[in-house]
Amino acid sequence: MGNMVNNKSMKYTGKIRPIAGTKDPKTGEILYPYIPDDELINAVNWAIHLNRPLLLEGEPGGGKTELARAVAYELGLEYRSYTAKSTSKAQDLLYFFDTIGRLRDAQLAATTLFANDPQEIDRIRDTDTYLELGILGEAFQSEKRMVVLIDEIDKADVDFPNDLLQELDKKQFTIRELNKVIVNKGESPIIFITSNSEKRLSDAFLRRCLYYYVKFPEEKRLNEIIQERYKQEKSKPQPKLLKKALEIFLKLREKMVEDEEERETTKKISTSEWIDWVKLIAVEPKEFTQQLEANKLPFAEILLKSQKDRDDYLDLTWLEEEDIAVLK
């Protein structure tokens, strides 16, 4: 992780990044460098300064989720994440109390089963035995600042974000089963929330957040992303092939945007497809060249996510003739 930073002087620069492929020492997850633009860096720092969640919207695969981990890495903070589902409830982020387990143990304690086991009786009497904090509950109870990601909030029911209004505002919540108020102990957590805009979020929820739309990267930054990821790699994509790939990728995306009304899916190729595509080009350069010479979109399975897209874009006839000549 990055160097520990004093909470009061905490500032994200986007310049302290892990080497691609580094393992997180605590979770074992593979880390990759994240390259934010200046506007996004400003949005992160304003959210930190104001103790407000930062709501990130943008196309799927555009890099929204990776930002929170990048901030945690640079600032040397603990990182927790939760991915919302259709069945998610706001309380999942706060706590879970095992009422059934407590009732069962209380009934057992009333028998002779634990009569000679005072340690077990003490465990049953301790309400914390049945309490498990969610990622927000854990962050509020931590004396050290944490980074929390609530991912794909638009996948959950419309009540999910609305049930978090007071908790996000006051940084506290009540455990109803114990009539106990949990308040934020230390510095407020740095909260990131992502959405693919599948559902509209309420005005009351939006009022409590800072907002940033993660745009599709420009050509220069797409190239920077690859250069950063392959800085320490032995198997790198060949520069000439990478240049051709980037030209094709940008022209394909431009064509998808142009054809949006006619396509069966609104999914356009994004940063995640670009990274996966280059990964395959790096290990299969001959196959990439052969498919290109056959006037086919190389490794189309990565880029085309519907049969209609395959019908429309698998053959490179949608490219201008001069573009095809240059690419070959």
**What is the full per-residue pLDDT of the chain (328 aa) written as tens digits?**
554 444 457 899 999 999 888 888 878 888 999 999 999 999 999 999 999 999 999 999 999 999 999 999 999 999 999 999 999 999 999 999 888 888 887 777 677 666 667 777 777 777 788 899 999 999 999 999 999 999 999 999 989 999 999 999 999 999 998 889 989 888 899 999 999 988 899 999 999 999 999 999 999 999 999 999 998 888 889 999 999 999 999 999 999 999 988 877 778 999 999 999 999 999 999 999 999 999 999 999 999 999 999 999 999 999 877 666 556 6
Predicted pLDDT of residue 211: 97
Separation of alpha carbons 87 and 52, rounded Å: 26
Predicted pLDDT of residue 161: 94
Asked if 73 and 18 touch (Cβ cutoff 8 Å), the reply is yes
Q: How many CB atoms lie within 10 A of CB 43?
A: 22
Asked if 47 and 58 touch (Cβ cutoff 8 Å), the reply is no
Predicted pLDDT of residue 231: 87
- Where residue 157 falls (left for φ over 0; alpha for ψ -120 to 50; beta otherwise) is beta
Q: Element (H or E) spanning 309, and its range?
A: helix 307-313
